[in-house]
Chain A
Amino acid sequence: MAIRCVASRRTLAGLKETSSRLIGFRGIQTFTLPDLPYDYGALEPAISGEIMQIHHQKHHQTYVTNYNNALEQLDQAVSKGDASAVVKLQSAIKFNGAGHVNHSIFWKNLAPVKEGGGEPPKGSLGSAIDTHFGSLEGLVKKMSAEGAAVQGSGWVWLGLDKELKKLVVDTTANQDPLVTKGGSLVPLVGIDVWEHAYYLQYKNVRPEYLKNVWKVINWKYASEIYEKECN
């Protein structure tokens, strides 16, 4: 997956990460932590700046680092023809790669209020939501309930089933991407319900986090994806 690798103050580990497009063993492509399109504090009071910084600079960065390590190890194992090493690496690749992909989507799913965060979707996505869920409030209620009910770690998603041409709400465990729930599902909005996404601010009260996160959901981005997939 191509990720912008803009060098910035907000990416953590400096040069190795920001310039690593084709560096590395045998020219395998490695990944970098994408820049946030807003400051850490810009989503307050819905999500604290402290959470955003740790979530981005620590959690997401760790997924990127571990994904790159796993890919390098995979490259070596493949070159050596070490079949069992290749198989052994799959869970680290799935977990860390998906963690990277999911979080990259998540940062785009959020926006400061002054940049449209929380503004209801218009256009074709807005109509589709009304058709499938009755209203935006209906969708929000459903996603919040399902997000609160995830046991352990995971995500709650609004997705588009490209084949059936309908919107779906579903949850995934850990870092499982939405596509594990259906091969034709495209994520439009994902909300991280791992405890690290809210604990410092909301503690055990996940429903309160889910109530407030909607104030910074970036429906413009979701609409772009929806319109692109529908055409």
Chain B
Amino acid sequence: MAASIAVTANYVLQPPPYALDALEPHMSKQTLEFHWGKHHRAYVDNLKKQVLGTDLEGKPLDHIINKTYNNGDLLPAFNNAAQAWNHEFFWESMKPNGGGKPSGELLALLERDFTSYEKFYEEFNAAAATQFGAGWAWLAYANDKLKVVKTPNAVNPLVLGSFPLLTIDVWEHAYYLDFQNRRPDYIKTFMNNLVSWEAVSARLEAAKVASSSSA
């Protein structure tokens, strides 16, 4: 099973690595105040309550996620655990003045596995746009290949056996205040102005190390 990368939330609500207004005008302060301050906080708080007094209490977050995923037959704590993890991963997937095309090794790998950055963009965009209902779109790494994945509700690539590298939250609460129904505009803004390719590169390095050590 794929190891978790970097995120060791362990039920602490970490703030995003930037001020709540730092992503404006692409993602408003108001969105961050609700999305991080209410939604993400609630997942963390509710998870703490939910595992209290059970054998999940005190276990690392990724352990709880894998256990409660239960091969798709989700146990009650999965939603809160996975969403706590997903949201911290999401904040770290973005940065002020982010977005655009990556360079160096990451670009080379995207070109190798998608034939071009534009093709990757198209595929990632399509995954994010066509995830019916709530969910996430991901760039993930498995078997030495990059791929785009979309998941419903709280599901993430950890439980599907791959290393997450980048994510966009497409639950309506992620974009409704800024874009209302216009999810395609939100996705475009995320890709062009928010993606932190530095974070993606760091995660890719960690993924390569983790997969070679478990090979």
| A positions within 8 Å CB-CB of B | 54, 58-59, 62, 91, 95, 151-154, 173-175, 194-196, 199-200, 203-204
Contacts and interface: CB of A to CB of B under 8 A. Distances in A.
Contacts of B154: 151-152
Interface string B95-136: 000000000000000000000000000000000000011110
Given A199-B173, A200-B177, A152 B135 contact: yes
Given A59-B181, A152-B153, A153-B134, 14 more contacts: A54-B180, A62-B181, A151-B154, A152-B152, A152-B154, A153-B133, A175-B133, A195-B173, A196-B172, A196-B176, A199-B172, A199-B177, A200-B177, A204-B39
B38 interface: yes
30 contacts: A54-B180, A54-B181, A58-B180, A91-B132, A95-B132, A151-B79, A151-B153, A152-B135, A152-B152, A152-B153, A152-B154, A152-B171, A153-B133, A153-B134, A154-B133, A174-B132, A194-B172, A195-B134, A195-B173, A195-B176, A196-B172, A196-B181, A199-B173, A199-B177, A200-B177, A203-B38, A204-B34, A204-B38, A204-B42, A204-B173
A195 B169 CA distance: 14
Nearest to B37: A204
Contacts of B153: 151-152
A152 to B, nearest CB: 4
Contacts of A58: 180-181
Contacts of A174: 132-133
Contacts of A95: 132
B49 to A, nearest CB: 15
Nearest to A205: B38
Contacts of B132: 91, 95, 174-175
Nearest to B33: A203
Contacts of B180: 54, 58, 196, 200
Contacts, number: 52
B85 to A, nearest CB: 15
A67 to B, nearest CB: 13
Contacts of B134: 152-153, 195
A58 B171 CA distance: 17
Please classify how large the interface on chain B is, using the bins under 10, 10 to 19, 20 to 34, 35 or more: 10 to 19
Contacts of B177: 199-200
A200 B172 CA distance: 11
A95 B130 CA distance: 11
Interface in B37-52: 38-39, 42
A200 B34 CA distance: 12
A195 B38 contact: no
Contacts of A59: 181
A212 to B, nearest CB: 18
By CB atoms of chain A within 10 A, which of B39, B42, B132, B152 has the most?
Answer: B132
A161 to B, nearest CB: 26
A153 B172 contact: yes
Contacts of A194: 133, 172
Contacts of A204: 34, 38-39, 42, 173
B191 to A, nearest CB: 21
Contacts of B34: 203-204
A191 to B, nearest CB: 16
Contact of A173 (B42, B133, B172): B133
Contacts of A91: 132
A175 B180 CA distance: 19
Kindly list the 6 A-B residue pairs having the minimum CB-CB distance in the complex, ordered from nearest: A195-B172, A152-B134, A153-B133, A174-B133, A152-B153, A58-B181
A175 B132 CA distance: 9
By CB atoms of chain B within 10 A, which of A59, A62, A194, A204 has the most?
Answer: A204
